[in-house]
Amino acid sequence: MGGTDATALSDGDAELVEELLAGSHRALARVITRIENRAGGYRGIVAALHEHTGGADVIGITGAPGAGKSTLVDKLAAAYRDRGDTVGVVAVDPSSPYTGGAVLGDRIRMASNVGDMDVFFRSMSARGQLGGLSMATADAVKALDAFGKDVVIIETVGAGQNEVDVVRTADTVAVLVQPGSGDDVQTLKAGILEIGDVFVVNKADMDGAERTLAELEEMVHRREGPTKGLDGGHHGFEVPDHPDDGDAADEGDEPAWTPEVRQTVANTGEGVTELIETFDAHATHLRESGAIESTERRRYAEEIRTLVRSDVGALATAEIERRGGIDELADSVRRRETDPYSLAAEIVEPIADCVEAAPEGVGSAAGNEGADPVDDET
C-alpha cells in the first residue's frame, strides 16, 4: 500500500487493515479507536481503506434533543437486520468539557440489537465541533463502509442549524421533529431545512402531530421558492453550474429530489419500515440521477479543504512557537511594537515561500517522515 510519507503504513498497521477488510470486528474496533484518538499512523490506515469505500448507504439522523433520535436509530437498525442488511452506527455525543469524551457514551442505546454482531455500535465524542460531527466521525464512517456494512447510520447531537455538518458525511439526511415543537419548526426555516432529504415527525401518537406534519409539508412545498438556486446539491435545490464541477451542467438536467415527510412512533416501531423505504428511494434517486457524483465531489472537496486548513494551521502554530509563543507575540502587539496584520504576514511568509519554491506535483507531506502532521479537529 503506497501513499506519501504521511500516509505510509507500518507493517503492523497494514496487517490491521487487512484484518479489518477480512471481517474482523476486533480490528474494526481497534481502527475506530485509533481514528477517534487521532493516534499516530491513523492517516495511513484511513488512506488505505479509502479505495474500499463506496458500498454503504450512509444515513444521517439529526434533530433537536428529545426528538427520539436514539430510539429511532435502535428500531431502524433492527429493521435493517430483519431484511438481512448489516449495520454500523456512529452516535456522536456531546463532549465532556473536562475529558473531551462522550458524555452519554456509556448509555445503553441499542437495546433491540444487543448481541447481534452484525450491528456495530460506536459512541464518539463531538469534541466541541459545531453540529456534532468531526473529521474523526467521517473517518469512522469510512472504516465501517470499508468493513462491508450495508448501512451506516450517524446519529448527531442535535445542536440547531449547525447540524448542516452532517451533510458532509451522509448521503441521506433525516431531520426529526417532535409534535408540538413549533419553535423547532421555526428553527428549521433558519437552517436545518436546507439539509433534510426526509423530515420525520417522531412520537406521532402525541397531541399536535397532525399540525406539525402539516407545517413541515408546507415548508417543503415552499422550499422550491425562496431557496431556489442555492447550492444544496442532492437535497432538492437547483444547483448553478460551477466551472470546476465538470459535468455539473449535465447533472442539473436531472430531476431534483423533493423531500418526503414521514411519521413514526419509535417506541413501538410504527412507521419505521415506511421510513426505510423512503431512504431506499432517495438512495435510488441519487444513483439513477447521477446526483451521487456531485454529492461525493462536494463532500471530498470539503474534506480536502478541512485537512489542508488543519495542516497549514499546524505549520503556522509551529512557526508561532518558534518565534517565542503566542503570548509573547501578543505582548509585542500590545506594546505597539508591531501589529497583528504584520505579524500574521511574517508568520505565513516562510510557509508561502516553501509552497512557491516546491516543484510542481510535490506534496506538502514530503519530509514528514511518516508522522501524522496534526490532530484534524478544526
How far CA 278 is from CA of 79, 174, 253, in Å, comes to 14, 10, 23
Give the integer Cα–Cα distance in Å for 335 and 339.
Answer: 9
**What is the average pLDDT across 321-341?**
96
Give the integer Cα–Cα distance in Å for 215 and 219.
Answer: 6
How far CA 95 is from CA of 37, 108, 171, in Å, comes to 14, 17, 25
| 175, 195 contact by CB (below 8 A) | yes
The percentage of the chain sitting over the pLDDT mark of 90, rounded to a whole number, equals 45
Give the integer Cα–Cα distance in Å for 150 and 144.
Answer: 9
pLDDT for 97 equals 42
| 166, 154 contact by CB (below 8 A) | yes
**Minimum mean pLDDT range among 34-48, 101-115, 195-209, 297-311:** 101-115
Check whether 297 has a pLDDT greater than 70. Answer: yes
pLDDT 10s digits, 67-121: 889 999 999 999 999 999 999 999 887 654 444 444 444 344 556 666 678 999 9
pLDDT higher for 3 or 80? 80
- Under the banding of pLDDT at 50, 70 and 90, the label for residue 184 is low
Domain annotation for the chain: domains and CATH numbers: 1-52 (no CATH), 54-289 (3.40.50.300), 290-378 (no CATH)
Host H or E run for residue 59: strand 57-63
- CA of residue 204 relative to chain centroid, distance: 28
Give the integer Cα–Cα distance in Å for 310 and 314.
Answer: 6
pTM of the model: 0.80
- Under the banding of pLDDT at 50, 70 and 90, the label for residue 366 is very low
- Under the banding of pLDDT at 50, 70 and 90, the label for residue 63 is confident
* Mean residue pLDDT across the chain: 79
pLDDT 10s digits, 244-291: 444 433 444 556 888 999 999 999 999 999 999 999 999 999 999 999
pLDDT 10s digits, 14-51: 999 999 999 999 999 999 999 988 888 999 999 999 99
The percentage of the chain sitting over the pLDDT mark of 70, rounded to a whole number, equals 70
